[in-house]
């Protein structure tokens, strides 16, 4: 199986990786639109979770260095602190807090274009070697 970069899910959601130069860290951006809102006009929590998942997964991959790996989220906790609305630009910064060969622990922060904290997330990712 060939790894597609960027993955279809990130293309569909409009996510852009803006920095992954530092091993164990990645920064992502998205401009929110009404496709991802609930009936109250607020961006759905699942969409914010997807942003955090993409950023955290990418940070685990960068922490692996030259090792070619697949990563999978095994659990995630997210806290929503402020509403996100269409028109906002969100930035998600993810950082591996404890790298591992089999499991890594990661945190993420999602902020709006004014630096206001929208959500925080933490997760564990299982890591396996890619064979292709």
Residue 3, domain member (yes or no): no
Residue 5 backbone dihedrals phi, psi, to 5 degrees: -130, 125
pLDDT digits (tens, 9 = 90+) for 42-64: 999 999 999 999 999 999 999 99
Angle subtended at Cα 69 by Cα 64 and Cα 74, rounded to the nearest 5 degrees: 95
SS3 label, residue 56: helix
Supply the pLDDT for residue 1.
47
pTM summary value? 0.91
Q: Is residue 30 part of a domain?
A: yes
pLDDT digits (tens, 9 = 90+) for 68-117: 999 999 999 999 999 999 999 999 999 999 999 999 999 999 999 999 99
Taking the CB of residue 76, how many other CB atoms lie within 10 A of it?
Answer: 16
Query: Looking at the domain assignment, is residue 2 inside a domain?
Result: no
Cis-peptide, bond into residue 86, ω within 30° of zero:
no
**1 belongs to a structural domain:** no
CATH code of the domain covering residue 35: 3.10.129.10
Q: What integer pLDDT is reported at residue 83 of this predicted model?
A: 96
Q: Is 113 part of any domain? A: yes
Beta strands in 46-116 (DSSP E): 69-80, 89-98, 103-111
Asked if the structure places residue 24 within a domain, the reply is yes
Q: Which domain holds residue 63?
A: 8-129
Helices (H), 14-96: 45-63
Q: How many structural domains comprise the chain?
A: 1
């Amino acid at each position: 199986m060939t790894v597609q970069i960027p993955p279809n899910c990130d293309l569909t959601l409009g996510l852009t990786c803006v920095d992954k130069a530092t091993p164990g860290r990645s920064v992502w951006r998205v401009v929110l639109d009404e496709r991802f809102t609930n009936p109250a006009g607020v961006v759905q929590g699942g969409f914010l979770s997807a942003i955090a998942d993409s950023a955290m997964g990418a940070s685990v991959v960068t922490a692996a260095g030259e090792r070619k790996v697949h990563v999978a989220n095994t659990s995630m906790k997210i806290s929503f602190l402020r509403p996100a609305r269409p028109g906002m630009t969100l930035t998600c910064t993810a950082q591996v807090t404890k790298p591992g060969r089999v499991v890594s622990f990661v945190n993420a922060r999602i902020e709006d274009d004014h630096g206001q904290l929208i959500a925080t997330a933490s997760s564990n990712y299982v890591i396996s070697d890619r064979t292709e």
